Amino acid sequence: MLSSFVHWYLQALDTGGYALVVLLMAVESSIVPLPSEVVIPPAAYLAVTTGKMTLLGVVLAGTVGSWIGASVMYLAARYLGRPLLVRFGAFIFLTETKLAAAERWTSSVGPYGVFAARLLPVIRHLIGIPVGLMRMHYGWFSLATLCGALVWSAVLCWIGVTAGQDAALLAGDMHRVTRWCVGIFVSLLVLYGLFVYRPMRRQ
């Protein structure tokens, strides 16, 4: 299914351009499990190889899309309220216990945690929910989200361009693929430990 999506996406980028990147990154920042790793890198690679887009444009499109999606989650949580999320949260694997833990974490780390969450898989999809419930100032939430999304989109652009220039990687050199995966995983693990695990342990 993922390969079919990527194939469709590469073709659709020819006509969809930045607007398609914005749309898919908005979806990615919601409860829909669409990884940004299959949205930004292909667009960045095509930007370099075809010239139909620019890397800066792809980064900005990814940033704006992420902010839109996260804002929808924030506003939905803020105005629909906790009881509704508790009742239906199980459908997105968000139990009352997890929700309470997320609220405590959000309260302790504030906007810095929102920034860090934009760099962490899974967490960045849902961070708008506890933040909205805690009624964090929307301006601070937006600033943290935009900054985090900008950094993440830039990193994914770099990955897309670098991977596209790596002949061994494109040829399927599994040793090279493994090194890339391990490096990314370790970086994300460190971020998770600093901004999620340690604050949760202190509560």
What pLDDT digit, counting tens, does each position of 3-24 carry? Answer: 677 678 878 888 888 999 999 9
The enclosing H or E element of 16 equals helix 2-28
Please tell me whether the overall predicted TM-score, pTM, comes out greater than 0.85 for this model.
no
What pLDDT digit, counting tens, does each position of 43-92 carry? Answer: 888 888 888 889 999 999 999 999 999 999 889 888 886 666 666 555 55
Q: Residue 198, SS3? A: helix
Q: Would you state the pLDDT for residue 97?
A: 67
* Cβ neighbours of residue 180 closer than 8 Å, sequence gap 6 or more: 159, 163, 169
The Cα–Cα gap between 64 and 62 comes to: 6
